[in-house]
Structure 1
Amino acid sequence: MKGSNVLKRLYLLCSLLFISSLGADELSEILSGTKESLFDYQFQGNELQSDILSKSWINPVTVSYGKNYTTQFRTGTVDTSTFSVSIDQPIFKSGGIYYAIKYSGALRNANRTDITLQRRQMIGDAVAVLFNLKRIRLEKEKMRYQIENDTIDIRQKRDSYEAGILDSSFLDQAILKKSQDETALLEMRLNEMELKQRFSVLSDKNPDKLRLPKLKLIDKQNYTRKNLELKRDSLHALEMDYKEKTTWAKYLPTVSLHGQYIDGDLNPLFPSPNLNESYYNYGFSISMPIDVNAFSDIELSKVEKLRAATEVIDRKHTVNEEYDWIRNSLHILDKKISLARKDEKIYGNLYKVTKNLAQAGEKTVYDANVMKNSQQIRRLDQRIYSIDKQLQLLKLYVRMENVL
């Protein structure tokens, strides 16, 4: 029996992971093909640029071929040809080669992380539009209940005004309130159209057929560990550290090998049995530049390194503050949901009482409908606040790796 329970738990866990992965796959592919292609080109370009940079210390091999003609000789035109292969390659730069390779790797990873962050933020924008579409539809439904209450309020105030109980200003305010709410409903429809247009720019999917994720608060340690902005800045700091070392090495001794292979026709003007048509030139050199800007260049690289390291510290503080702010905002939204739930219960009880009084002739059906509509409004408020919580959590998720 105990083993059976363990199997059930494992099955449930696997099912949840499978469902979660389905949602993740669906959202990771929310962007249009054009947007995805642009990001793919950015990733490919970054890889190629990094490959070029990592091999930039290798000097090119120069291959040349030349052919000359001369009419200097009375015997006729004489032609000579020359083929050569030459190279001048540094093999030791006081650590500069090693740190240049390390620098290109850090730059590759920093740029890759930045592109990943840009893509995730765009995915987050698309998902935020989906949440806001759902939210504005709830707001529209809520406003319809409010307009219905406004209509009832106008009817009741008109009856009181005609009976001489109320002043005309009360009726005027009720009419104005209904007009304002109807205008607000039109604005919501316009906002809904704008949201759909924004989504169509980001995605070619049908927003009505996409499933919204159910986001939960991630623990602070996990959020910090997977935060893409912090990872990018840390990689940038590492990049600047290697760049400083590369700058130092630039002004230290360099050992280079140089070689040349030449295969060419001998000059007929100076024939000599001691000369070869094909031969090698080779050797080595030790060099060290003396540059008046060396100190400033090294100090600049040091300042850039310190600035990048400080940006990491500042980013850690920002990440912690962002997390705390969102967590506190979630607590406030939970309190709003709790208040709306209490109000819904109160209006529900008032509706029952008013309905019974209406049946007894002491209240009108309109009074009961007002209570019922108010109950529905507070019920919709709970769903709206829940979406607000999801929008807050989305701000965390888009800055993390592999969570959507």
Structure 2
Amino acid sequence: MKKLFLLCSLLISSMLHADELGNILSNNKELLFDYDFKSNELESDMLSKSWINPVKLRYNKDYTTRFGDKTIGTGTFSVIIDQPIFRSGGIYYAIKYSQALRNANEADLTLQKRKMIGDAVSILFNLKKNKLEQQKMKYLIKNDKIDIRQKRDSYDAGLLDSSFLDQAILKKSQDEATLLELELNLLELKQRFSLLSDKKPDGLRLPTLKLMSKTNYSEQNLELKKDRLRAEQSAYNANVTMAKYLPTVSLQGQYTDGDLNPLFGGPNSTLEERYYNYGFSVSMPIDINSLTDIEASKVEKLRAATQVLDRKDQVKEEYEWIHNSLGILDKKIILAQKDEKIYKSLFRLTKNLVQAGEKTSLDADIMQNSLQIRKLDQKIYKIDKQVQLLKLYIRVENVL
């Protein structure tokens, strides 16, 4: 029962962290993406209905002096419809094209948002890494100071050449400059984060990312999904282009309510002020560029299909590269762990030698500082692993 409770607690905790980081972007950034998604929906809806011609309402008022000295005015109100009802499949494919375009644009926008979220989370990881690297540099500088002190004593005693002391002083200056660069980099990271998010970086908990399977990465990859939808869009567009040059059947209708012309509107006239005109037409354009246009759409269709195949290879290589890089980082962690054990042993040995009067407390401090450095290295490498995994996570849906 306790295990079940612990499992549920971890699951709920991870979901809360995912929701928190999923909303990491600033309100303005979220609004911009919301507007983009809404615009895509509206534009797609308009495109899906673009085959429906508008109904025209028209009112004319004419004046003439042809019937003598008197000026006569006539008014006419008309409702006109000219609507294609068959385009050799063009209407169906136009609707399917608009749906594919909407889905492809939505996938593209989702990917853009995921990358921006990924940039913000990556900055959080690098902020944490920067602080660890600063701690590491401070331990290195402590060792540098001890090294300078020891070599100065040896130099004063005539046991060491001045070049060794010079190198120790130079290394301390270089490490201090590196620490200043890290402090500057920390300010830059905070500034970059503030451009993406209005949240306080110190108040956000970082996720613990795990390596997903190659199958899941491929099936949920947004770039691959986008390319597949673009290929579908290009295929429908090729059909629309072909249908554009095939026969079209249209219905025409017109309702007219207008004043009768006095020349024809006598007492015995059978003309009606209100009447209908209706019929149909069959048309087909003869365009010198039709074959070129159709061929160009087919080429685009083939290019989009090839892009999908190329993206599959790219997705596979991305995963393999991340997987291999994680293996290298694991080896670096193992090396740091081995060094930690060695420095622990050396530290204990040095402390005993200090108590025996064979070593100074400075020697023990060097071992202690080196031990802390290798512990920090392990934490830094683990953050590097998270940054590498993040490169996979930002390309799939619903994981942050």
- The TM-score normalised by the length of structure 2 is 0.97
Paired position in structure 2 for 1:47? 41
Shift of 1:134: 0.2
Aligned to 2:51, which of 46, 57, 62? 57
Paired position in structure 2 for 1:335? 331
Q: Which amino acid aligns with 1:34?
A: N
Tell me whether 1:141 sits opposite 2:135 in the alignment.
yes
* 1:9 to 1:354, Cα distance in 2 relative to 1, 3 A: closer
| 2:367 counterpart SS class | helix
Aligned to 2:258, which of 264, 270, 275? 264
- Matched-pair identity in %: 70
Paired position in structure 2 for 1:305? 301
Query: Partners of 1:252 and 1:100 in 2: how far apart?
Result: 14
| 1:199 counterpart SS class | helix
* RMSD after superposition: 1.3
Deviations 1:91-143 (A, max 9, x none): 00110000010000000000000000000000000000000000010000000
Shift of 1:288: 1.1
Query: Partners of 2:231 and 2:66 in 1: how far apart?
Result: 66
Paired position in structure 2 for 1:24? 18
Shift of 1:334: 0.4
For structure 1, the residue ranges without an aligned partner over 5 or more in a row are none
Q: Which amino acid aligns with 2:298?
A: K
Query: Partners of 2:352 and 2:7 in 1: how far apart?
Result: 50
Tell me whether 1:234 sits opposite 2:234 in the alignment.
no
Aligned to 1:120, which of 96, 100, 114? 114
Query: Partners of 1:292 and 1:11 in 2: how far apart?
Result: 73
Q: Which amino acid aligns with 1:314?
A: D
Shift of 1:384: 0.0
Deviations 1:68-91 (A, max 9, x none): 344566675533211000011110
Paired position in structure 2 for 1:274? 270
Paired position in structure 1 for 2:219? 225
Query: Partners of 1:256 and 1:280 in 2: how far apart?
Result: 17
Shift of 1:306: 0.5
Paired position in structure 2 for 1:366? 362
Query: Partners of 2:11 and 2:360 in 1: how far apart?
Result: 54
| 1:212 counterpart SS class | coil
Query: Partners of 2:343 and 2:213 in 1: how far apart?
Result: 37
For structure 2, the residue ranges without an aligned partner over 5 or more in a row are none
Query: Partners of 2:226 and 2:265 in 1: how far apart?
Result: 67
Tell me whether 1:156 sits opposite 2:137 in the alignment.
no
Aligned to 2:346, which of 333, 336, 350? 350
Q: Which amino acid aligns with 2:363?
A: D
- The TM-score normalised by the length of structure 1 is 0.96
- Most deviating of 199-208 and 270-279: 270-279
Query: Partners of 1:146 and 1:209 in 2: how far apart?
Result: 29
Q: Which amino acid aligns with 1:235?
A: L
Aligned to 2:162, which of 159, 168, 173? 168
